[in-house]
Amino acid sequence: MQADLVLKNGLVFTSKGIVEADIAVNEEKVAKIAKGPNIPKGVKTIDCRGKIILPGLIDPHVHFRDPGETEKEDFYTGSCAAAAGGFTLVADMPNNQPPTSTVDAFKSKVKEACSKAVVDFCLYAGCGAENMTEMAYLAGEGAIAFKTWMYLSSPFSNLLAVKDFKEVIQIFTNTSKLGVPIAVHAEDAETIEQATTLLKSSGRKDPAAHSESRPASAEVKAVRVCLDAAKKTGVTLYLLHLTTKGAVEEVKAAKSWGVKVVAETCPHYLFLTEEAILQLGAYAKINPPLRGIEDQKALWGSLVDTVIDCIGSDHAPHRKREKEEGREDIWLAPSGAPNIEVSLPLMLTKVNKGVITLARLVELMSTNAAKLFNLYPARGTIDEGAQGSFTVVDLKSDYKIRADHLYTKAKECMLFDGWMVKGRAIYTIVRGSVVMEEGVVVGSRGFGRFTPRGLTQRRSHSVS
Ligand code: DOR
Ligand code: ZN
């Protein structure tokens, strides 16, 4: 037998620990993990000596802006950025124009993304008061999860956001019945509206006003509401981009009572504090906002002690011109930053420093997302029979992040330009095909495949 691809001499991160072995991939799947003569010859062979082969990394939270705002990013550039950053699978958010909250919008997004993606992708479906009757059909189309905002100033709020506890319960009940998780942007609308009105009426337009308009209490209040609703409805709750000590304490308590909650944070909350918005202005305007050092310490603590389960980049590209509008008046700039290409090198730098283990990084950046999306063990682990998708990492590579080397259209908005990091992906391999080699994207447009929520696993896998 000849295999399509053989990875030789690597340190393979298997479910049984790191082993020195070769991997043969055939017809998109891992055919064999063994050493020496037991491995077939490959049509293509890559020498991975000194490198670590991780399960293909998954970014559970990206905004590729396609359809609707493709001048900011599109599925081709976004997925090139994903491949460059070491991700083999991404899950794209539904706040498009039109929102991915109807079956028609969902289907047409799948079609468009299939024609452009370089890596595999999953799609969230949006939900709000206006599309509750359509949720079952969206689940049938393979939505990976539903997403709703508790605060969103958008003309599409009825398709993407909830306005009160009654709607929270309705949506959580629906998603629970469908057996699909509900992902929530948890920041309390009333708190934000009141704070914003006060700040604006006192003439504040400076960058710090953004942080003050979205206090930690807004997140903690919304997180409590969601956890309460999750407990009542039994849904699996995916709490996106947590930023505060108070929120992770709530999650920790809820987990101990058996609430099915999966928690996420993002690289910008782990590596930047609220100081950044004072230095970088609107470029560091993100929702929820960057926080203080005490919150950041709590986030690192909860990564280690398994309260936080996933790292999502929340890759949210905007144009430089729009960010510049916030120079004189912070309220005018859009929120979000493009981080998919730096998420892994930043985290590997912390692995090198001994802050987290590589095993924990794999859980946070692959295995737990695969479990949440019901794609485990086909994804999220390296075992015979699993998908042949890998992120090959060079842990020793020191380099400087250069915004002008990025694939995202939003490279001018990069927050980490000039940072020194240690560790990066040198190959991104999707179903046996190399899509990124030594920093260069070699995968072709349209190779990436739509990956619906897994239906085959009757067992549910608890994360961590
Ligand atoms: O900062 C953010 N940007 N937060 C969100 O909730 C949305 C995102 C975006 O889409 O730009
Ligand atoms: Zn987001």
Residue nearest to atom 6 of ligand 1 (CA): 287
Q: How far is the CA of 173 from the centre of ligand 2 (A)?
A: 23
- Closest listed residue to residue 330, CA positions, set 369, 370, 280, 368: 280
CB of residue 316 inside a 6 A radius of ligand 1: yes
d(CA 243, CA 264): 9
Question: In one letter, which amino acid is 42?
Answer: G
The per-residue pLDDT for 463 is: 60
Atom of ligand 1 nearest to the CA of 240: 6
pTM of the prediction?
A: 0.97
Q: How far is the CA of 433 from the centre of ligand 1 (A)?
A: 32
Percent of all residues in the chain with a pLDDT value above 70, rounded to a whole number: 98
Q: Ligand 1 pocket: which of 61, 69, 70, 95 to mutate (most atoms <8 Å of CB)?
A: 95
CB of residue 358 inside a 6 A radius of ligand 1: no
CB 130 within 8 Å of CB 461: no
Where in the sequence of the chain do the CATH 2.30.40.10 domains occur? Answer: 3-53+383-441
What are the pLDDT digits (tens) for 413-461?
999 999 999 999 999 999 999 999 999 999 999 999 999 998 644 344 5
User: Average model confidence (pLDDT) for the chain?
Assistant: 96
CB 430 within 8 Å of CB 56: yes
What are the pLDDT digits (tens) for 53-63?
999 999 999 99
The per-residue pLDDT for 36 is: 82
Residue nearest to atom 4 of ligand 1 (CA): 287
Q: What is the dihedral of CA 223, 224, 225, 231, to 10 degrees?
A: 110
Residue nearest to atom 3 of ligand 1 (CA): 336
The per-residue pLDDT for 152 is: 83
> From the CA of 336, which ligand is nearest?
1
CB of residue 287 inside a 6 A radius of ligand 1: yes
CB 63 within 8 Å of CB 338: no
CB of residue 352 inside a 6 A radius of ligand 1: no
Q: Ligand 1 pocket: which of 61, 62, 63 to mutate (most atoms <8 Å of CB)?
A: 63
Q: How far is the CA of 395 from the centre of ligand 2 (A)?
A: 28
Q: What is the mean pLDDT of residues 23-32?
A: 98
The per-residue pLDDT for 1 is: 77
CB of residue 161 inside a 6 A radius of ligand 1: no
Residue 27 burial (CB count, 10 A): 10
Classify domain 57-372 by CATH number.
3.20.20.140
CB of residue 63 inside a 6 A radius of ligand 1: yes
Question: In one letter, which amino acid is 313?
Answer: S
More confident residue, 265 or 35: 265
d(CA 287, CA 379): 30
| Four-way CATH pick for 3-53+383-441: 1.10.1790.20, 3.40.50.1110, 2.30.40.10, 2.70.70.10 | 2.30.40.10
The per-residue pLDDT for 455 is: 66
What are the pLDDT digits (tens) for 205-234?
999 999 999 999 999 999 999 999 999 999
Residue 31's φ and ψ, nearest 5 degrees, are -90, -35
What are the pLDDT digits (tens) for 171-188?
999 999 999 999 999 999
Q: How far is the CA of 234 from the centre of ligand 1 (A)?
A: 27
Q: What is the mean pLDDT of residues 343-360?
A: 98
The per-residue pLDDT for 462 is: 56
Report whether pLDDT(464) > 80.
no
Nearby residues of 449 by Cβ (< 8 Å), 6 or more positions away: 114, 117, 120, 121, 431
